[in-house]
Amino acid sequence: MQTPVMRLYAALSRLPLFKSYRSKIMLVAFLGTHVPLLTLLFWFLLSQNVASSEMIRVLLIALVATLVGTLATLMVLNALLRPILVSSRALRGFLKDRSKVALPTHFTDEAGTLMADTTVTLNRLRESMEQMENFDPQTGLPNRSLFVSRLQRTMDEASESDTFALVLVELSRLAEWNVTYGNRAVAEALKYAGSSLEKRMSDRGLVARMNESTFALQIPDFGSRREDALMAEDPGQMFSEPFRIPGGSESLHIESRTAVALFPGDGRSAEELMTNASAALHDTRNSAQSGARFYSREMQHRIEKRISLEQSMRKALRDGEFRVYLQPRLDLKRNEVLSAEALIRWVRPDGLVSPADFIPVAESNGFIHDLGRWILKDSFRILKSWIRVAPASQKDEVKISVNFSPHQFWGKMDWVLEELGNADLPGFRLEVEVTESVFLSPSDSLNENMSMFQKAGLSIALDDFGTGYSSLSYLRDFPVDRIKIDRSFIHALPEDGSGSAIVGSVIDLAGALNIATTAEGVETAEQLSFLRQHACDEIQGFFFARPMPEADFLEFVQVAG
């Protein structure tokens, strides 16, 4: 539509005294009635030769009469202008605070339809804006902001004895489905999950969609019904039915993680309760637990500690707070130290942090890749010093064993050979230690890395053998050179009959497959003599030597050598 021309209106708008629309109409009405009337009267009196005093009198009477008449007209005009004025006010009010509009809607002329259309349009606009702001378009459920404000209201109105649970349900595989089946599958999964949760809640509490993959439930009096216990123990059954991808034949099963925070114990405000439930949900990512995770103060501390670890680890690498310690291993046939395990230590100004605490964190945030490369480089540096000081008979044999995380094996590992090359070391100098859990997720990368290492002459050791869940078939399928029997088996030797039988048969089995054995965690002379008797190849443990810093290690191997 073209901008209409409004010359007279624009000209009148320039007059400082006539800013309002009403005053413009009044001015025009006043001038429109007075100017022609008074002109006519003036002309008439002049042409009649009336005495000037008479003329003034007549003019005054005429003026008063027209003024009274005009005043009455103006009042009527003012009333007739109301539809325009109230429509304008309604629009202003809507823009300011989106206030509800209630103008008459039954008049049918232009001013009447202006009021009716203003009312209908603004009210519809308000509804759609509210819908957009408070509801999730994909599932039709309330969104985070509406949920949080309703949650807060429930908390504000709660009596002393009122309790409820805030349950967060996160769907696990949406990103993967998006890649494999496209976003229609994800949209369907969200719709299905939303309606399942809504059905389950019926009108007991609130359901909302919080973000991409998370839903929230507010369940009053949680625990009072049997289904609550079921939800806590096995939240997966909420989505027990598979759903079908539109237009496809595939049926998918929803997998989810669930966390619970309770009111009033776990939070006094909606935001606090949400934060704590999210912390519990975050915690489910690092556990294989199938039930819902309940928030607890202890968990909060664990998460805070973890976040602070994550933040300080990178800085620690730059500041040189990591050290490679070495634990010598004793070859039982030759009674010599021919290998040592590199074990990382984090020496912080406020004390030592155990690798058991920071390696899992480094694995989950990807820092293990930078750290792992540094460990390997530093291990090679120490190995070269060892080769320099080793007795002549051992110089060509000594090797170092370095731990790798399964996460590293699941990615490319060419860098290991690169670092060997940079250090100018042949492959046999490095033994790669990895736990059996690496076989839990078979992948092309795993196979490629294993055979690449084998070709390059590295040896592969299975760490903590006996503690994993996987089958023994990998001993046949993968090029494993050594198994390290976990210290939990060695610990019970030799008194525990069944423990001794397990260790004995593992050594025999390995021997039959041409795989070397190392016993980990050897702490007593009795354990050592048992292992000797059973022809174990090598021992590692506090009884023989503890993990030690580089200087002590180089001294130790010279004395022991």
- Interaction with Mg ion in 493-552: which residues (CB under 5 A)? 520
The answer to whether residues 539 and 484 touch, using CB atoms and an 8 Å cutoff, is no
Of 188, 283, 363, 463, which lies in the binding site for Mg ion, with binding defined by CB under 5 A? Answer: 463
Q: Which residues of 121-160 are buried (b: 16+ CB within 10 A; e: fewer)?
A: ebeeeeeeeeeeebbbeebebbbbebbbebbeebbeeeee
What one-character DSSP code corresponds to residue 237? G
The answer to whether residues 314 and 534 touch, using CB atoms and an 8 Å cutoff, is no
| Tokens 């009312």 -> residue | 119
Angstrom distance (rounded) from CA 425 to CA 533: 35
- Interaction with Mg ion in 422-441: which residues (CB under 5 A)? 433
487 contacts ligand C2E (rule: CB under 6 A): yes
Q: 251 — alpha (psi -120 to 50), left (phi > 0) or beta? A: beta
Token duo for residue 561: 């050598």
Of 463, 494, 507, 517, which lies in the binding site for ligand C2E, with binding defined by CB under 6 A? Answer: 463
Closest CA to 327 of 290, 286, 355: 355
Partner whose binding site includes residue 470, from Mg ion, ligand C2E, none (CB under 5 to 8 Å by kind): none
Partner whose binding site includes residue 343, from ligand C2E, Mg ion, none (CB under 5 to 8 Å by kind): ligand C2E
Of 310, 378, 523, 552, which lies in the binding site for ligand C2E, with binding defined by CB under 6 A? Answer: 523
Of 283, 336, 436, 464, which lies in the binding site for Mg ion, with binding defined by CB under 5 A? Answer: 464
- Interaction with ligand C2E in 338-397: which residues (CB under 6 A)? 342-344, 354-356, 359, 375
- Interaction with ligand C2E in 427-446: which residues (CB under 6 A)? 433
Of 70, 118, 278, 403, which lies in the binding site for Mg ion, with binding defined by CB under 5 A? Answer: 403
Closest CA to 207 of 238, 237, 177, 176: 238
Handedness of CA 366, 371, 372, 377 (dihedral sign): positive
Minimum CB separation of residue 374 from Mg ion in Å reads 17
407 contacts ligand C2E (rule: CB under 6 A): no
336 contacts Mg ion (rule: CB under 5 A): no
Partner whose binding site includes residue 235, from ligand C2E, Mg ion, none (CB under 5 to 8 Å by kind): none
Within 13 Å, how many C-alpha atoms sit on residue 521's CB side? Answer: 13
- Please report, for residues 63, 149, 328, 450, the alpha-carbon distance to residue 445 in angstroms, rounded to integers and kept in the order given: 103, 48, 31, 8
Residues in the chain: 561
Angstrom distance (rounded) from CA 426 to CA 49: 134
Angstrom distance (rounded) from CA 181 to CA 503: 48
331 contacts ligand C2E (rule: CB under 6 A): no
Strand partners, 216: 168, 208
Partner whose binding site includes residue 94, from Mg ion, ligand C2E, none (CB under 5 to 8 Å by kind): none
What would the x/- binding string for ligand C2E be over residues 281 to 320, using CB under 6 A? Answer: ----------------------------------------
Partner whose binding site includes residue 523, from ligand C2E, Mg ion, none (CB under 5 to 8 Å by kind): ligand C2E
Nearest residue relative to ligand C2E (C-beta):
541
Angstrom distance (rounded) from CA 329 to CA 482: 13
Which residues touch 511 (CB under 8 Å, ≥6 apart)? Answer: 517, 535
Piece of 43-51, 173-181, 198-206, 541-549 that binds ligand C2E (CB under 6 A):
541-549
Angstrom distance (rounded) from CA 514 to CA 480: 9
How many of the chain's residues bind ligand C2E (CB under 6 A)? 24
Partner whose binding site includes residue 542, from ligand C2E, Mg ion, none (CB under 5 to 8 Å by kind): ligand C2E
Partner whose binding site includes residue 375, from Mg ion, ligand C2E, none (CB under 5 to 8 Å by kind): ligand C2E
Minimum CB separation of residue 219 from ligand C2E in Å reads 41
Residues in touch with Mg ion (CB under 5 A): 403, 433, 463-464, 520
Task: List residues binding ligand C2E (CB under 6 A).
Answer: 327, 342-344, 354-356, 359, 375, 403-405, 433, 463-464, 487, 520-523, 540-542, 547
